[in-house]
Structure 1
Amino acid sequence: MRKNILKKALLILIAGLILFSISAQAISPEEIEADLLYMRELLEEVHPNIYHTTSKEVVEPFQRDLIAQLYEKDEYTLLEAYQKLASLAALFRDGHTQVFFPQDKWNDYLAVGGTIFPLRVELEDEVLTLKNILTEEKLPEGSQLLAINGILAERIKNDMLAVLSYESKVFGARLMSNNFSRLLWALFDIEGPFAIKYRAPGEREETVTLQGLQEDQLPARTAEQPYKLDFISAETALLVINSVPVEMNEDYFNFLEESFKEIKEQEINHLLIDMRNNGGGSTYQFNEVFHYLTDTPYRSFSRVDTRYSRPVLARHQPWHSQIYYRFLNLIRGDDIYKSEPGLTHPPENDYRFSGQTYLLVGPATFSAAADFAALCQDYEAARIVGQETGGLPTSYGDSFFFELPNTSLQGRSSYKYFVRPGGQETSSGVIPDQEIDINKDYPEILATIKSK
């Protein structure tokens, strides 16, 4: 009995120390301002065109107001500093230019029994809708969120989107949904219980108070496989690719070879490749999939602009290359190099698929995964089905990572500009050849595709 009491007391003490460390880290307005100025200067130096979407005339007054607001308080927590710094980075509307959320603080909060908002919130047509995440029903499905603990849904939506970096609205909506619980805690200091004001479909406004969920109360998640092969029918194979390795990976190459070998042996006529939830990775690894779909010579991008700034050269180039590029920069008066990659010829392949390929994409298809969708579309290697990709196939990318000197928050900036293979410099994601509901099961998705 006495041991149990001591054990509980120790756990309470540890929890208190962790919570104290979360809230006690005081950061001065001067330190945050210094990080803001440091980051702005770094982004201007590294990014090929930091004002591509938001002009300097918009950024300047935003930054001045942000700095003026800093001096309304004497000190800030790390989470408050994150909100200020992330909002400036997000203003540039580049999915590869951002200040990262301090995930370790959220982990500490959960470790001591911190509670999570007990519903999933999705942004649909500018409205926040509620989805139950537990088996027992809590609210009518599809109810509209109006407020949480007296904070209006419109403010919650706007403040969350303001710290998230994205180009397309569909990807911003997905980011907000996936990060809703931790942003609700970080931006509004809401820990539960949660007084939820909502409107059920076709009904009047209601309010319900729900307790938060601790991490171990969340529905058990099945470990997501990065890639797998399955068969929907005797003539249709399913290749799910949720992620690809960033570096060279023999297991991944072996998986592709064995999968397409089996597809050929099974005499499959239809192949559905699912990249709905693929957030990107290495273009080279995606191209390995492409080699199994066509023997057409290709280029992943029609043009690549690289900015060889001093920070990028120092980080990514050996000393002799640094001297070479700096000399060229001086002679040319410009540090951006435009290149048009040559054609790549797919290697000989005994297991190349010759049937009909469908590539399933959606708002969570981002970065190199969206580039792969554009590659397949521009070279007609697959029929693109689903919904517009969250990533833009013509966009800024390849990340230069940095740490802010005073807050130690981590961030990144694009330092390249990629133009899709077909040469279209558009501001949209990959538009499917056939738009379909991506939230159905595979047989229904396949039936919808084939019916059209």
Structure 2
Amino acid sequence: MLLRLLPALACLAAISPATAAASAPAPDLAPALTPNPTPAPAPARQPETCADCYGAQEAREDLATLYRRLQQEHVDLFARRDRAAHDAKMAELLARIDGPVPKAEFHLMLHEAMAFGRIAHAKTEAAILDALAHVRSGGRIIPLSVSYRGDAMLTDQWAAAGGALPPGSRITRIDGLEVADIESRARRIISADTDRLLRSQMEAALPIFLHLLLGPRDAVEVAYVAPGGAAGTIMVPSLSYGDMTALQDARPVAAPARDPLRRIARDLGQGIHYLQPGPFLASEDERGETGDAYAIEGFRRFVDDAFAQIAASGATDLLIDLRGNPGGDVSFSDLITARLTDRPYRFASRYEVRAGPATKAIWAKRAAGTEFDPGSLSGRMAAAIADAPVGGRVAVDLPAAQPIRDHAFRGRVWALIDRHSYSNAAVVAALLQDLDIAVIMGEETADLPTTYGAVESFTLPHSGAAIIYPKAYMVRPSGSEETRGVVPDIPLAPGPVGEDRDIMLDQALSRIAAERNALSYTQPER
């Protein structure tokens, strides 16, 4: 991935609920001297005094509040780790507090508490905000930008001057740690359901996570295998954000000229139409003066025009490109999906919410300021939360989306996904697959179509850290509860680092053309 660090952090926020209604131990454990296979991350900084600390009692109270309120609000806190394991983890964290705790260190402890449950939508960003403050103040970070190919962590940008560590190199060690050890440490502070989802977040902002895991460094040693097979090591110096982007601009790496956030509808000829919807939320231009991310009219006009073009073109095949799509809201994506089927449908086979005290208060406030359509998802959610007992987990009867007849498309539908098809993009792909609307091509998504999501948040009393929790559990239309991304019907590998052609798109179009030719060949004469 292109390493543009501040925008990349938005990718982490994009790993959010499929439908919007809507991490590390203390440094004094001397990990290098113990046999712990996943030693504690170093603190972002170690102040000489405790002027920038939380008192021991404040830290303990925040941790206790965190655990108590998560049990009240999280739709299923113990889904992946049972209560006994959580109890032991919280006891371990509390035992580390034997005096004032540096704020940066405590924020990492909060990350560790949240990441322990292995649910991506249960998280805090307190330590990430510390790291971003370091970057914005001119602090230096290790400029490693990476992409995964299978289990291999590959560089996708130049990280230093000279010819060592060229893009496409497979990293084998960072600071003496094997990649598996780096990932194991990262898992302690990054909320992720699966290793694939963990890696996708590391791709988005590895320099930030290295800063949190290793602490400030002037340089780190990186061992690698170059694309040609030669092994090497290099000391990669830390850089300011400005110097890092200047280095990348001075040494550009070829890549497909594609922006996944653009909205594109294009006739490719030979009966194939291409549709890249972009995010399922309003763009900056579409939000207007109100700044409303759910202002849907601009997106509606785009979709109306796109399907009018498709109808006029006489296309028999439609390719929907969801690669790199950060997701958004189902009300947007339904404008597309409803034109591809002649049957009512629901985006999930099950949708349950926990009506915790914070969630009930949040939705009571929303209901007071908004007149919800009782038949809409938001209206049904509001009613279910209001009627449920405090802390109760209740099913929401999802409204069925009705087919849209205007310029409906009844040809062959194909969807292209990758590991960065997040949130509602993964949900749309699962919906198209489960309802037999489309053939899914590409690579497995990192995000999950059966997931804990629809997040809300509360704030801790002393640190002020925002704690994000999932209030809902949704199951994909097929009913599968497997903890896995959307698996394509036709797997397609991404292109190699340094390739400017869109290899995956070319492969997809070749498969569509082959299918068209096969159908033409077998079509009986009239």
Which range, TM-score by smaller chain?
A: 0.7 to 0.9
Question: What residue is the counterpart of 2:183 in the other structure?
Answer: 157
Whole-angstrom distance in 1 between the partners of 2:298 and 2:481: 35
The alpha carbon displacement at 1:341 in A equals 2.8
Q: 1:424 aligns with which of 480, 484, 489?
A: 480
Question: What residue is the counterpart of 1:329 in the other structure?
Answer: 389
Question: What residue is the counterpart of 1:404 in the other structure?
Answer: 460
Quick one: which amino acid aligns to residue 339 of structure 2? Y
Is 2:164–2:234's contact at 8 Å kept on the other side of the alignment?
no
Aligned with 1:398: secondary structure?
A: strand
Deviation sequence 1:250-272 (CA, Å, 0-9, x none): 11111111122122222222222
Whole-angstrom distance in 1 between the partners of 2:236 and 2:354: 51
Mapping of residues 246-257 of structure 1, within 5 Å: 246-257=293-304
The more displaced of 288-297 and 250-259 is 288-297
Quick one: which amino acid aligns to residue 68 of structure 2? E
Aligned with 2:145: secondary structure?
A: strand
Is 1:29–1:76's contact at 8 Å kept on the other side of the alignment?
no
Whole-angstrom distance in 1 between the partners of 2:384 and 2:504: 54
Question: What residue is the counterpart of 1:38 in the other structure?
Answer: 65
Q: 1:390 aligns with which of 441, 446, 464?
A: 446
Whole-angstrom distance in 2 between the partners of 1:370 and 1:118: 30
Is 1:437–1:445's contact at 8 Å kept on the other side of the alignment?
no
Mapping of residues 53-92 of structure 1, within 5 Å: 53-71=80-98, 74-78=100-104, 80-92=105-117
Is 2:158–2:167's contact at 8 Å kept on the other side of the alignment?
no
Deviation sequence 1:226-278 (CA, Å, 0-9, x none): 42223444432222234121513211111111122122222222222111212
Whole-angstrom distance in 2 between the partners of 1:32 and 1:124: 40
The more displaced of 334-343 and 298-307 is 334-343
Quick one: which amino acid aligns to residue 204 of structure 2? N
Mapping of residues 302-341 of structure 1, within 5 Å: 302-317=349-364, 329=389, 335-341=392-398
Whole-angstrom distance in 2 between the partners of 1:386 and 1:152: 29
Is 1:114–1:214's contact at 8 Å kept on the other side of the alignment?
yes
Whole-angstrom distance in 2 between the partners of 1:63 and 1:370: 33
Quick one: which amino acid aligns to residue 235 of structure 2? T
Question: What residue is the counterpart of 2:377 in the other structure?
Answer: none
Mapping of residues 50-449 of structure 1, within 5 Å: 50-71=77-98, 74-78=100-104, 80-123=105-148, 126=151, 128-133=153-158, 137-150=163-176, 153-200=179-226, 206-216=232-242, 217-218=244-245, 219=248, 225-245=261-281, 246-317=293-364, 329=389, 335-349=392-406, 351-439=407-495, 440-448=503-511
Give unpaired runs (5+ residues) of structure 2: 1-45, 282-292, 369-380, 496-502, 516-526
The alpha carbon displacement at 1:89 in A equals 0.9
The alpha carbon displacement at 1:77 in A equals 3.0
Is 2:280–2:424's contact at 8 Å kept on the other side of the alignment?
no
Identity fraction in percent: 23
Quick one: which amino acid aligns to residue 212 of structure 1? S
Is 1:95–1:166's contact at 8 Å kept on the other side of the alignment?
yes
Whole-angstrom distance in 2 between the partners of 1:190 and 1:128: 22
Q: 1:29 and 1:451, CA in 2 relative to 1: closer, same or farther beyond 3 A?
A: farther
The alpha carbon displacement at 1:150 in A equals 4.5
Whole-angstrom distance in 1 between the partners of 2:260 and 2:387: 48
Higher RCO, 1 vs 2 (CA within 8 Å, ≥6 residues apart): 2
Is 1:110–1:215's contact at 8 Å kept on the other side of the alignment?
yes
Whole-angstrom distance in 2 between the partners of 1:339 and 1:323: 9
Quick one: which amino acid aligns to residue 457 of structure 2? F
Give unpaired runs (5+ residues) of structure 1: 1-18
Aligned with 1:271: secondary structure?
A: strand
Whole-angstrom distance in 1 between the partners of 2:382 and 2:261: 40
Q: 1:74 and 1:95, CA in 2 relative to 1: closer, same or farther beyond 3 A?
A: same
Q: 1:451 and 1:406, CA in 2 relative to 1: closer, same or farther beyond 3 A?
A: farther
Question: What residue is the counterpart of 2:286 in the other structure?
Answer: none
Q: TM-score, normalised by structure 2?
A: 0.73
Q: 1:367 and 1:327, CA in 2 relative to 1: closer, same or farther beyond 3 A?
A: closer
Quick one: which amino acid aligns to residue 418 of structure 1? M
Q: 1:226 and 1:411, CA in 2 relative to 1: closer, same or farther beyond 3 A?
A: farther
Whole-angstrom distance in 1 between the partners of 2:269 and 2:211: 45
Deviation sequence 1:313-352 (CA, Å, 0-9, x none): 111125899999677528xxx7121244353322331x22
Quick one: which amino acid aligns to residue 208 of structure 1? I
Aligned with 2:53: secondary structure?
A: coil
Is 1:302–1:340's contact at 8 Å kept on the other side of the alignment?
no
Question: What residue is the counterpart of 2:43 in the other structure?
Answer: none
Aligned with 2:359: secondary structure?
A: helix
Is 2:417–2:443's contact at 8 Å kept on the other side of the alignment?
yes
Quick one: which amino acid aligns to residue 470 of structure 2? S
Whole-angstrom distance in 1 between the partners of 2:310 and 2:387: 53
Aligned with 1:307: secondary structure?
A: strand
Q: TM-score, normalised by structure 1?
A: 0.83
